[in-house]
Structure 1
Amino acid sequence: MDQTPFFQNLTRMWTTNSTPTAWPTNTLKAVYFDCPVAMAAHFQSFLGRCAQDQVQFLTDLSREQNPANILTREMAYLQQSTLAWNTEMMELAELFQSKVLANTPLQNTNWNAFGGGNNAG
């Protein structure tokens, strides 16, 4: 086979994990099983924490006597909730990236050899 960097990278890409079909199998497992299960577990844990926070918030709100304090507490809760959802979406994106992209040999490919130096994965 040709010894150019292009073919060397293709050879390395296809021979990762000892068999030519190992990396597609690992990728399919990561995409269709590992990633959805990990993301669902993480998201359900987050939703459980949200439900607990909301119950605690409503309990505290029911004890409040001053209408101005009720509005202030509600605004603070909404702000905290929005921040929690934003953080959760970032964590889910990072989890997706770690589960899916970690199992593909393209992550370690020298993209300069393919002529796409800025598209490093």
Structure 2
Amino acid sequence: MTAPNRQLLALAEARRLVRDHDISRDELVALEVPRGSSAWERQRRIALDQCRQLVAFWHISPRELRDAPSAPPGPLPPKYRHPVEGHTWDGEGPQPEWLKKALTKEGYTVSELRVAEAAGLS
């Protein structure tokens, strides 16, 4: 491959890195690695830099990284239950249609639909 072709490829790769990683040209130049490094190594350095920035921003300690939970938390327990149909809602996100219908058309009150365990919490 000729020198001009290598330069064009390097320029195209730099543009792609700036576009894909949302970094400025100055940041890209600051992350410059020695000649002969592969594109994977450059991307790895960018990724590591972004990780460091996130750790610093969120004040994450090394201990928190080591002691990360092994499994995601399970679903939340229901806070509301329809007494006849048995539909439930955990109180997160938009109200489900069954709850809106129970409150507006079926005549139930919020306290009547609240699950006993959840009633003591709120």
Structure ranking higher on relative contact order (CA contacts 8 Å, 6+ apart): 1
Normalized against structure 1, the TM-score is what?
0.26
Q: Which of structures 1 and 2 has the bigger CA Rg?
A: 2
Structure with greater helix percent: 1
The normalised TM-score by structure 2 is 0.26
